[in-house]
Chains A and B, each alone.
Chain A
Amino acid sequence: MSRRAQENILACLLMAFFVGVLVLSLGYSPRARLVPVPISVLGILLLSAQLVWQNLRSPDELHVDMLEFLTRRGGRPKDDAGNADDEAADQGAAAAPPPSQFGREVLAFAKVAGFVAMFLLLGPFPSVFIFVFAYFSLTRHYHWAKAIIVTTIFVAITYALFVEVLDIQLYHGLLEPLVNSL
C-alpha cells in the first residue's frame, strides 16, 4: 500500500474520531459541550485541509517540517556539534525506499498485546518474569541459563523497588481465584 493511501486511511480514521466526538458532544448540556464542540469542529476542518493538502502534493513532499517551513532553510541542518548531515546518503536513501517493516510492526503490536494480556491474567511480577525470560530466550540474546539469572535479578530489583520501597499494592491477576481453588 502506498504511503499516500496509508496517510489517507489514517486521516479518515481521525476524521471519524472527531465526528464521533462531535455527535456525542451534541448530546451534552450547553456548558458541558462548550469546549468539546468547537475543538472537534476545528479538528474536522484541519483534517479536511490535511486531506486536500496531502492529495495535491507529490508523495516525496508529504512530510513537511514546520521549522523548515518557517525558516525556509534548504537542506538538513547541522547538528549542535557542527556535523553536517550527509546529504548524499540522504539522496541515496530517498532513491531506494526502505524495506517494508509491516511484519515486525505486527509482531511489535502482538508482543505488547500479549504482555498486557499476561499482566491481566497473572499479575505484574509473574508476567514480567515470563515475558523477559521468553524475550531473552527467543531472541537468543542470552543462553537460557543466563537468561534465567538475569531475569530473576531484574524481577527481584523491580519487586524491591515497587513493592518494598514504594509500597505499591500488588495486583494478583484474574487467574488468582482459579489458582486459590486448586
Chain B
Amino acid sequence: MLEAIVGGLTMLLTPQAVLFMFIGVVYGLMVGILPGLGGIVAMALLLPFAYGYETAAMLALLLGAHIATIWGSSVTGILFKVPGAAKSLALIFDGYPLTQQGHASRALGASATAALLGGILGAIFLAISIPIVRPVMLFLGPPEYLMMALWGLTIIATFSEGSLLKGLVAACIGVLIAFIGMDPVTATPRFTFGSIFLLDGVSFPVAMIGLFAVAEMMKLYVKGGSILDRDVTEERSTVLDGVRDAIRHWWLVARSSLLGVWIGVLPGIGASVGGIAAYAQAVQTSKTPERFGHGAIEGVIAPDATVGANEGGGLMPTLAFGIPGGESMAILLIAFVTMGVTPGPQMMTNHLDLVFAMMWIIVLANGMTTLIGLGISPYLARLPAMNANIMVPLVLSVCFIGAFATRGDIEDVIVAAIFGGIGYIMEKYNYSRANLVIGMVLAEMIERNLHISLTLHGDWFLFTRPITLTMFIFVIFTTALPFYRNWRRGRMVAASTGGRP
C-alpha cells in the first residue's frame, strides 16, 4: 500500500500534470463563482480537451477544476448569500452574516482553510478506511438510504431560520416542487400541466439562482446602500484570522471531515446533504448554539470541511464499484472509459497507484485552491461594499445568463425570475428558503428509496430490517433531543427561580 501511495504521488510530479492541475484550479475557481455553473459543468466542458495527454495530467485537470469549483461556490454564498451549488447552501447561514458584520475576509479565510484541512483529512481517513468501507457499503441498502434522507429532512427542524412551522411548510413546498416533471418510477408526468419543458422538472441550480441571487438583488434594491451593515465602513478582520479560526476549531474540522468522507462514500447521497448535516452537528454540539445564524465562524468551518472531505469519499464507490458517488463522479467515469481503465473491484488491486494518485490530486488541488483563495480573498471581500446601483444590474445579468446556460433553455430564465419573486416573499415573511432547497434535494432520494424499499422488502421493511429500525430510532432521537433539552432547561430555570417565569 505504501508503494502505491508513493507511486501515486510520482505520477503527478511531471510538468504536464502540475500545469494541468493549475489550469484546472484557476478555471474551476472562475466557473465556481458564476451562479448555476458548478463542478459538473466545469468537468463536462473540460472533458473534450483532456484526451491525448498523460493519465495523471488528465485527471489533475478534471479533478483540479472540480475541487476548485467547490470553494468558488462557497465564495458567493459567503459574500452575497448566493450559494453557487447546493453543497454550499449551509454556508449562507453564518457566512453571509459575517460578511454583513465586516468579517468577509475572515469567513473566506476560514472557508478556504477548512476546505483544505477537510480535503487532507478526508483523503487520510479514506486511505485508512478502504478495508472497512467496502463491506459497509455493501451492507447498506435503499431502506437505510431512505432513513438517511429522512434524517436530513428532520435536521431542518433544528435550524429553521424563522419559525419551526414555517420552516417545515417551506420544506414541504420544496419536496413538492421536486416532484414536478416525469416520475421516474411510474413514468407519470406530475404537475406539468401539459408543458414539455416541465417534463424535465425544475432545474435545481436555476431554482437556487432565483431563490437566493435574484431575491437578494431585489432585496438589495429595495433596501438600497450595499450588502454591508450601515455601520460597517471597513473590514474588521483579516484572512489570517480565518486561517487561525479553522486551526483553532481542529476538532470540529476533524468531525466534519469524517462525516464528509462517510457521506461521500455512500452513493447517491451527495455533498449537499453533507454540508447541511455538518452544519446541524456543529449547532447541536456547540456550547453556544444561539450564536449560529448570526455570524458564528463554526457555521462556515463545518460545512466547508465536510464538503472538502466529501470528494475523497465520493471516489470510493466510483472506483471500487463503478457506481458514481455523485454527478461529477459520473463524468470521471466517462474519463476512465476513454483512458481504458475499468472501475470496479480490480481497481483496488491492479490500479491502486491510480487510486492514490487521485487522492493526491484532491490534496494538492485543495492546497492550490486554498493558496490562490487566500491570496484573492482580501480583494473578493471588497465586493459586498459595492453600491446597490452597480451590483444589482451586474449580478442580475450574470444570474439570468447563468440560468439560461444551465440547460440552454430560455424557459429557465422565466423559472429563475419566478423563484426570485418566491424567494423575496419567503424572505420577507420568514419562510426559510434554505429549507425549501433542502426539501428539493431530499425529495427525489426519499421517493426513489421508498419505492425500491417497498418493492424489495415489502410494506413492513422498517421492522424487518434491524439496521433500518435502528436508524429510524436514531432519527427520532436526534429530532426529539433539542426539544427534550429545551424542556429540561426550562424546568431547571423554573426550579432556580422558584417557579417564576
Given A112-B420, A167-B45: A79 touches B295 (CB 8 Å cut-off)? yes
- Inter-chain CA distance A104–B219, complex, in Å, is 10
B420: A residues at CB distance < 8 A: 112
- Inter-chain CA distance A21–B397, complex, in Å, is 33
Query: Which residues of B come within 8 Å of A, CB atoms?
Result: 30-31, 34, 37, 41, 45, 94, 97-98, 101, 103, 157-169, 172-173, 175-176, 179, 183, 185-186, 188, 190-191, 214, 218, 221-222, 236-237, 283, 288-297, 387, 389-390, 392-394, 396-398, 400-401, 404-405, 408, 410, 413-414, 417, 420-421, 424-425, 429-430, 443, 446-447, 450-451, 482-483, 485-486, 489-490, 493
Could you say which of A29, A77, A158 has the most chain B C-beta atoms within 10 Å of its C-beta? Answer: A77
- Inter-chain CA distance A125–B190, complex, in Å, is 34
- Inter-chain CA distance A107–B392, complex, in Å, is 13
**From residue B482, how far is it (CB to closest CB) to chain A in Å?**
5
- Inter-chain CA distance A111–B222, complex, in Å, is 12
Is A148 at the interface (CB under 8 A from chain B)?
no
**From residue B27, how far is it (CB to closest CB) to chain A in Å?**
8
The closest CB in chain A to the CB of B432 belongs to A66
List 5 A-B pairs, Cβ < 8 Å: A53-B163, A67-B159, A80-B297, A116-B417, A168-B404
Q: How many residues belonging to A are interface residues under a CB distance threshold of 8 Å? A: 74
- Interface contact B393-A171, CB-CB below 8 Å: no
For chain A, residues 59 to 95, give those with C-beta under 8 angstroms from any C-beta of chain B.
63-73, 76-81, 83
B173: A residues at CB distance < 8 A: 14, 17, 43
The closest CB in chain A to the CB of B191 belongs to A24
Given A66-B163, A81-B103: A10 touches B176 (CB 8 Å cut-off)? no
- Interface contact B101-A36, CB-CB below 8 Å: no
- Inter-chain CA distance A70–B158, complex, in Å, is 8
Contact of B221 among A14, A108, A166 (CB under 8 A): A108
Binary interface profile of A, 144-182, with partner B (CB < 8 Å = 1, else 0)?
A: 000000000010001001100111110100000000000
The closest CB in chain B to the CB of A15 belongs to B169
- Inter-chain CA distance A43–B291, complex, in Å, is 30
Binary interface profile of A, 1-41, with partner B (CB < 8 Å = 1, else 0)?
A: 00000110010001001100100110011011011100110
- Interface contact A168-B291, CB-CB below 8 Å: no
- Inter-chain CA distance A86–B222, complex, in Å, is 24
Given A39-B176, A66-B159, A77-B290: A132 touches B430 (CB 8 Å cut-off)? no
**From residue B84, how far is it (CB to closest CB) to chain A in Å?**
14
Main secondary structure of the interface of A (DSSP, over half): helix
6 A-B pairs closest in CB distance: A135-B393, A43-B172, A141-B389, A66-B160, A32-B188, A108-B218
Query: Which residues of A come within 8 Å of B, CB atoms?
Result: 6-7, 10, 14, 17-18, 21, 24-25, 28-29, 31-32, 34-36, 39-40, 42-43, 46-47, 49-50, 53, 63-73, 76-81, 83, 101, 104-105, 107-109, 111-113, 115-116, 119-120, 124, 128, 131-132, 135-136, 139, 141, 154, 158, 161-162, 165-169, 171
B482: A residues at CB distance < 8 A: 70
Contact of A135 among B30, B168, B297, B389 (CB under 8 A): B389
The closest CB in chain A to the CB of B163 belongs to A64
Given A14-B169, A43-B169: A141 touches B387 (CB 8 Å cut-off)? yes
The closest CB in chain B to the CB of A83 belongs to B101
- Inter-chain CA distance A34–B125, complex, in Å, is 39
Given A36-B176, A69-B486: A47 touches B164 (CB 8 Å cut-off)? no
Contact of A166 among B405, B446, B447 (CB under 8 A): B405
A165: B residues at CB distance < 8 A: 30
Given A28-B188, A77-B291, A115-B396: A69 touches B164 (CB 8 Å cut-off)? yes
The closest CB in chain A to the CB of B288 belongs to A77
Given A77-B291, A154-B397: A36 touches B190 (CB 8 Å cut-off)? yes
**From residue A93, how far is it (CB to closest CB) to chain B in Å?**
12
- Interface contact A39-B451, CB-CB below 8 Å: no
A161: B residues at CB distance < 8 A: 30, 34
Contact of A108 among B97, B157, B400, B424 (CB under 8 A): B424
A166: B residues at CB distance < 8 A: 31, 37, 41, 45, 405
- Inter-chain CA distance A109–B424, complex, in Å, is 10
- Inter-chain CA distance A50–B483, complex, in Å, is 19
- Interface contact B405-A112, CB-CB below 8 Å: no
- Interface contact A42-B172, CB-CB below 8 Å: yes
- Interface contact A158-B398, CB-CB below 8 Å: yes
- Inter-chain CA distance A83–B64, complex, in Å, is 39
- Interface contact B413-A116, CB-CB below 8 Å: yes
- Inter-chain CA distance A139–B394, complex, in Å, is 14
- Interface contact A71-B186, CB-CB below 8 Å: no
- Inter-chain CA distance A116–B97, complex, in Å, is 30
- Interface contact B413-A119, CB-CB below 8 Å: yes
B392: A residues at CB distance < 8 A: 135
